[in-house]
């Protein structure tokens, strides 16, 4: 087990999760962070307040001498990916390229330099599994390739297979985490993220748009818990393992919209539109998504720190003050 993470790499470090991770690491003794980000979905505002960061403003695929630039670091958090349903559906080819080609390049370099790596995968890999609780052993049940929504899940499964194959061959030390609907104060609403989108609409008194019937349920996870888990896993070194990171509390999207309206004392109305109307026929949506987190809780001793209502209140307060 490591004592600390002195010098780390965060790909996608200017994004929502990556910037929160950088801040968390610095608060817990990390001395230097290298961020690789092309700022296609990340923002410099997320990291401009941080000291002791080096930035490579580029797609991973385009970085020259990547091995040389990473050679002095001792851990890699690989977060770079296309994110958000809207972004994925609008940029299928680009997202696939990032999720596969960039990941393969990072794996090769980390293998050569013997740098352990934490890889962020997604709850999307479970597809439309009918299991009540999704554990790390739940079988994936993905839709057909004509439903382009599943391209993201497929690319992430390829990443997982590549990582574990390299681990089994003795070439790479990976830790894989599957993330379930991460939320927090500085999350952008630009790419279809449901909570900031609902909160921003409610604050303005605009219509809250729900895709589908609103009966589909999700489980939302606090970003502070996520980055805490990331650091603990990096220190514990459970290489070759997969972990769900989530919050088992479940809520329907319609109930979420009603909660946001209530907490903001908003006059917003809810409007329902079909997935097909928003994303076309290539879209398919699972009706529920609930994580089993016993494995990571048992290993780290860390449980989710906030209930959903607390998360929503904190996000609302942040965004209200942001708009003043």
User: Could you read off the pLDDT of 252-291 as tens digits, one per residue?
Assistant: 999 999 999 999 999 999 999 986 766 566 556 778 889 9
In whole angstroms, give the CA distance from residue 279 to residue 256: 21
Please confirm, yes or no, whether 279 is among the known catalytic residues: no
DSSP output for 161-208: HHHHHHHHTTS--EEEEEE--EE-TT--STT--HHHHHHHHHHHTPPE
- Helix and strand numbers (H, E) in the chain are 12, 13
In whole angstroms, give the CA distance from residue 91 to residue 8: 29
Residue 58's pLDDT is 95
Confirm if 304 and 221 have CB atoms less than 8 A apart.
Answer: yes
Residue 275's pLDDT is 63
Residue 234's pLDDT is 98
Structure tokens at 234: 């990096």
Q: What are phi and psi of 39, to 5 degrees?
A: 60, 25
DSSP output for 44-90: GGGTTT-SSEEEEES-GGG-TTHHHHHTT-SEEEE-----SHHHHHH
Nearest to 19 by CA among 56, 46, 54, 39: 46
Residue 3's pLDDT is 86
Predicted TM-score (pTM) of the model is 0.93
290-319: b or e for each residue (b if 16 or more CB lie within 10 Å)? Answer: bbbbebbeeebeeebebebeebbebbbebb
User: 166-191, pLDDT tens digit by residue?
Assistant: 999 999 999 999 999 999 999 988 77
Catalytic residue among 73, 87, 152, 229: 152
Q: How many CB atoms lie within 10 A of CB 260?
A: 25
Domains and CATH numbers, the chain: 7-184+221-248+288-304 (3.40.50.720)
The secondary structure element, H or E, covering residue 314 is: helix 308-322
In whole angstroms, give the CA distance from residue 267 to residue 269: 7
Lookup result for tokens 């681990």: 167
CB half-sphere exposure, 286, CA atoms < 13 A: 25
Spans of the chain below 70 pLDDT: 83-87, 275, 277-284, 323-324
Residue 297's pLDDT is 98
DSSP-H helix ranges across 205-306: 223-236, 253-264, 275-279, 294-300
Strand partners of residue 119 = 78, 176
Residue 279's pLDDT is 59
């Amino acid at each position: 087990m490591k004592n600390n993470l002195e010098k780390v790499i965060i790909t996608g470090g200017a994004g929502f999760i990556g910037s929160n991770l950088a801040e968390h690491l610095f608060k817990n003794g990390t001395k230097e962070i290298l961020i690789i980000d092309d700022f296609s979905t990340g923002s410099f505002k997320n990291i401009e307040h941080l000291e002791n960061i080096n930035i490579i403003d580029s797609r991973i695929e385009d970085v020259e001498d990547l091995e040389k630039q990473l050679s002095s670091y001792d851990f890699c958090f690989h977060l770079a990916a296309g994110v958000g349903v809207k972004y994925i559906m609008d940029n299928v080819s680009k997202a696939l390229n990032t999720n596969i080609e960039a990941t393969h390049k990072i794996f090769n370099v980390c293998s050569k330099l013997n740098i352990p790596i934490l890889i962020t995968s997604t709850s999307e890999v479970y597809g439309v599994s009918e299991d009540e609780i999704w554990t790390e052993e739940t079988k994936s049940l993905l839709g057909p390739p004509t439903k382009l929504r599943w391209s993201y899940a497929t690319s992430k499964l390829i990443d997982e297979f590549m990582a574990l194959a390299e681990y089994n061959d003795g070439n790479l030390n990976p830790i894989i985490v599957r993330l379930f609907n991460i939320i927090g104060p500085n999350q952008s609403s630009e790419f279809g993220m449901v909570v900031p989108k609902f909160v921003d609409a409610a604050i303005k008194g605009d219509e809250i748009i729900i895709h589908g019937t609103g009966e589909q349920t999700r489980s939302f996870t606090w970003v502070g818990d996520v980055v805490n888990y990331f650091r603990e896993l990096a220190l514990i070194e459970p290489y070759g393992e997969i972990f769900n990171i989530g919050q088992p509390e479940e809520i329907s999207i319609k109930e979420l919209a009603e909660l946001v309206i209530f907490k903001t004392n908003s006059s917003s109305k809810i409007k329902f539109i079909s997935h097909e109307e928003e994303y076309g026929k290539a879209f398919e949506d699972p009706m529920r998504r609930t994580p089993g987190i016993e494995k990571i809780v048992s290993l780290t001793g860390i449980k989710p720190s906030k209930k959903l209502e607390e998360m929503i209140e904190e996000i609302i307060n942040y965004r209200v003050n942001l708009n003043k």
